[in-house]
Amino acid sequence: MKISALQTAGTPGDVHANLRALDAACARAATRGSRLLITPEMFLTGYNIGERVHELAATDLLSPVREIARNHRLALVVGLPEREHGACYNAAVFVGPDGQVLGRHRKTHLFGQLDRTSFTPGDRLTSLVDYEGVRIALLICYDVEFPETVRAAAVAGADLVAVPTAQMEPYAFVADHLLRVRAWENQLYVAYVNHDGAEGDLRYVGRSCLVAPSGEVLDRAEHGDSLLSATVDPHVVARARHANPYLVDRRVDLYTDEPVGRRAPHATRDAKDSSC
């Protein structure tokens, strides 16, 4: 299955402008034969927009996304805020080509004060969607920096991990190095789809990438608005796991969870803290 990924600065706080950008990206992705388009984290509203995010989360953001998916007969993973029972979540929603919502993930690992003051954490390590013969796991940005999340996706049989992202300076090394490791150690595809440019006091690093189970970068964008594309093949995943049996060779009898309440010193990382 061919997939595409949209790296863009977007238009913070302007849902209609971002919907127009989504529609245009879908048209380009469809001409390439893609069956899935993945957007950055909080793409539809913007990420660093303060209290405005709560106002927009209370509106109907999904209906126009579903219409765009239907019009282009293309599946979408779109980053947006969601409200439920008074809580606001940083979410990624999987919409099928018929406009039906097939799955969603709510960011579980909240990053810095921006996330913690705006959102409630989700309660699942990852969320899975089966689409056209490919098992797709959803994570959001900081989630992928924890090995447990991608390993959980791999153990659940994921072929692809889709990661809408809002990665900012000074953490370019995550995009440059970590994603290839995650793909290799779990023998699956990783789609890391970032913002670029500036939003408020944040400077995004771009560097979106589509990575194969071998760790090979199939497509990448440094900076600027870009549409990446690559093919995801479950047979490649199966062969890679047979040749490099990390999942089979795990010693799960030796693995234990860290006790609740125990934290490493200086464990809180903030977007403005460049000392990490």
Q: What gap in Å lies between CA 217 and CA 208, rounded to an integer?
A: 10
- pLDDT, residue 36, reads 98
Low-confidence ranges of the chain (pLDDT < 50): 261-268, 271-276
Q: What gap in Å lies between CA 267 and CA 167, rounded to an integer?
A: 18
CB distance 158 to 191 below 8 Å: no
Domain range spanning residue 169?
2-254
Decide if 141 is catalytic.
yes
Residue 261 domain flag = no
- Give the closest residue to 15 by CA, choosing from 69, 53, 67, 66: 53
Q: What gap in Å lies between CA 94 and CA 77, rounded to an integer?
A: 5
Residue 272 domain flag = no
Given 107, 145, 199, 209, the catalytic residue: 107
Query: Which CATH number fits the domain that encloses residue 211?
Result: 3.60.110.10
Average pLDDT for the chain: 93
Residue 268 domain flag = no
Residue 61 domain flag = yes
- pLDDT, residue 265, reads 46
For 164, counting Cβ atoms within 10 Å of its Cβ (0-12 exposed, 13-18 middle, 19+ buried), the class is buried
Decide if 272 is catalytic.
no
- pLDDT, residue 204, reads 97
As for how many domains the chain has, the answer is 1
Residue 96 domain flag = yes
pLDDT in tens, 142-168: 999 999 999 999 999 999 999 999 999
Residue 77 domain flag = yes
Decide if 41 is catalytic.
yes
Residue 276 domain flag = no
Residue 275 domain flag = no
- Give the closest residue to 141 by CA, choosing from 95, 79, 184: 79
> Residue 197: which residues within 8 A CB-CB, separation 6 or more?
9, 203, 204
pTM of the entire structure? 0.92
Given 26, 141, 145, 199, the catalytic residue: 141
- pLDDT, residue 225, reads 96
